[in-house]
Amino acid sequence: MLIQPGVLSYERLFNDFVWDVPKHINIAELICDRHARTTPLGTAVIEDSERGVRRFTFAALKQLSDNLACRLRKLGINRGDRVVIILGQDVEALVSHLAIFKLGAISVPIAGLYTGDGLSFRINDCAASLVITDRSGADKLNGLDLPSVVHRAVIHQQAEGHELDFDELLLDSGDELEPVQTEANQPALIFYTSGTTGNPKGALHGHRIVNGHLPCFQLGFEMAPKNADVFWTASDWSWLGSLGDVVFPALYFGHPLVASPGRFSVRRSYQLMQRHRVTCPYLATAVLRKMRAERSNEKLELHVRAIMTGGEALAPEVLKWAQVIFNAPVNDEFGLTESNQTSVCCTSLYEAPANSVGRITPGKRVCIIDSEGQPLQPGVTGEIAIWYDDPTNMLGYWNQPQKTADRIINGWLRSGDRGMLDDQGYLYYYGRLDDLIMVNGLRVGPDEVENQLAAHDKVAEAGVIGVPDERSGEAIVAFVRLRDGIEADQRLKDELQAFVKQRLAAHCYPKFITFVRDFSVTSTGKIRRADLRKIYTEQFSGALAEPV
């Protein structure tokens, strides 16, 4: 059920809401092909990059994705096959997703931030047979052991050697495309998400994901869509919070979506919103924090009517600043890769209490549970849990049935987040129950960083925690025990930071490193991260020093 204009009561909307998810659906049909038949010349995407501005109609997107699907089929891509996309907000990324969906294959978006082991693990875990990327991404693949990858396609006519020229794949093959019939619960996307232990897990989502994201999209953008609405997000399209929260819903409703390939900057963000008359931007908490820190002196003529934000806790001072600067509602939403858009604010319908992350999204069932999975009364703090039978929920972790089962208790999907639900349906988020670190809204598993540090030939052992950081939300702190005879100095700190960046991802590097002589461990030999946090709090006061 879609939210209709004129709704005056959240209570009535929440109580009357029923999901309308057809048995047979395909994301490409929902967000592109049906518009290509009814409004073929309607603007779908406005891409603004250093190469200039490109505009794509729905008819153009359909033709390009049809052509690409035919070519990919000839390359051997069929139902259920995995295709990795390592691109930013390039239109080529969207066309690739559409073509993959039409073949009944599975799209695996991976952020360009990853490199080395961080990249190869994700590609090998899903056993991708094709990688679509740009020149920078293709160079990162060189030297990696990727046994399943048969083809690599590179955009912007920058293919080298045996790589495929993506632009040639977009040419008409002369074949008629017959899209594969897919069902709502058929796999469509894998989003890799880090945990506190072990390697990242692939959260597998079905074609129903678009329908599942519509209610929160409509409320978060103040009863969207309105006639002149133009949507944009500053965040990378490899994130579920971009594709699910903005890209897919905006196209579902047939409204223009602004794409901004290239490096994020505060100045460019303002220019994009002004130039393309963006009315509804999704500005993640990390983005708003940067915008507040780097205030613009330019005279702005913006057309923003509603902002949706999320990804991590929103500081009250950042919220107040954004409300003043944009002169528009700023609506927070809460979700996770496994179950997105759990709650949302909607200023025109209800005034969310301070520090809450809005009310439960219509169609969702949410409760707070104790360690045994039993529901708690309103006002009691515990673990946020979401009923598992929900179109925004993952189908499960890719090839990890036991880890999927471990996340579900008594029919509830455990979020791993601590929170409280009051008797009015307002949700409060109090942080993680585990050791997961959130850097600029991106999850970083401490195990991943510890493993990379331990792989360095001068490191004997490492322990990693997250600490509050004004710029990034949280910063990674590494406690490192060196091998015998190794001298601890600033040069080695710099070397270890660069080592992690090169082998994992830029946002995963430890911002602070301190060298220790020993660790306290559990009975099973694991480093006690709680003790590391205690050391940080008691001895460093925010500025890490030399060996303790």
pLDDT in tens, 260-312: 999 999 999 999 999 999 999 999 998 998 898 887 777 789 999 999 999 88
Strand partners, 537: none
Res 220: pLDDT:
96
Bigger pLDDT: 217 or 544? 217
Res 529: pLDDT:
87
Beta strands in 22-105 (DSSP E): 43-49, 52-57, 82-86
DSSP conformation class of 224: P
* 465 in Cβ contact with 521 (< 8 Å): no
Q: Is 402 helix (H, G, I), strand (E, B) or coil?
A: helix
Residue 394 predicted with pLDDT over 60:
yes
Residue 546 predicted with pLDDT over 50:
no
Mean predicted lDDT score pLDDT of the chain? 92
Of all residues in the chain, the percent with pLDDT exceeding 70 is 96
Lowest mean pLDDT among 76-85, 277-286, 528-537: 528-537
Res 519: pLDDT:
87
d(CA 238, CA 110): 5
φ, ψ dihedrals at 73, nearest 5°: -65, -40
* 358 in Cβ contact with 167 (< 8 Å): no
Lowest mean pLDDT among 2-6, 136-140, 357-361, 427-431: 2-6
Please choose, from the candidates 153, 117, 149, the residue with its C-alpha nearest in 3D space to the C-alpha of residue 137. Answer: 153
d(CA 404, CA 388): 11
* 25-207 CATH: 3.40.50.12780
Instruction: Quote the longest CA-to-CA distance of the chain.
Output: 72
Please choose, from the candidates 254, 228, 207, the residue with its C-alpha nearest in 3D space to the C-alpha of residue 33. Answer: 254
Q: Which CATH architecture has domain 437-540?
A: 2-Layer Sandwich (3.30)
* 458 in Cβ contact with 482 (< 8 Å): yes
DSSP conformation class of 368: E
Mean pLDDT for the stretch of residues 42-51: 96
DSSP conformation class of 539: I
Where exactly are the structural domains of the chain?
A: 25-207, 437-540
Mean pLDDT for the stretch of residues 346-354: 91
Residue 548 predicted with pLDDT over 50:
no
Alpha helices in 262-398 (DSSP H): 266-275, 285-293, 316-326
Residue 7 predicted with pLDDT over 70:
no
**What is the number of other CB atoms lying within 10 angstroms of the CB of residue 357?**
23
Mean pLDDT for the stretch of residues 90-95: 98
Per-residue confidence at 196, pLDDT binned at 50, 70, 90?
Answer: low
Res 354: pLDDT:
86
Residue 84: CB partners within 8 Å, gap ≥ 6? 108, 109, 110, 122, 123, 126, 128, 130, 131, 132, 133
Lowest mean pLDDT among 3-17, 52-66, 106-120, 211-225: 3-17
**Angle of helix 490-503 relative to helix 446-454, nearest 10 degrees?**
120
* 340 in Cβ contact with 311 (< 8 Å): no
* 369 in Cβ contact with 439 (< 8 Å): no
Mean pLDDT for the stretch of residues 146-166: 97
Res 438: pLDDT:
86
Per-residue confidence at 448, pLDDT binned at 50, 70, 90?
Answer: confident
Of all residues in the chain, the percent with pLDDT exceeding 90 is 73
Please choose, from the candidates 362, 318, 320, the residue with its C-alpha nearest in 3D space to the C-alpha of residue 343. Answer: 362
Mean pLDDT for the stretch of residues 343-349: 95
Residue 543 predicted with pLDDT over 60:
no
* 493 in Cβ contact with 513 (< 8 Å): yes
Res 412: pLDDT:
94
Res 4: pLDDT:
66
Residue 547 predicted with pLDDT over 60:
no
Residue 500 predicted with pLDDT over 60:
yes
Res 541: pLDDT:
55
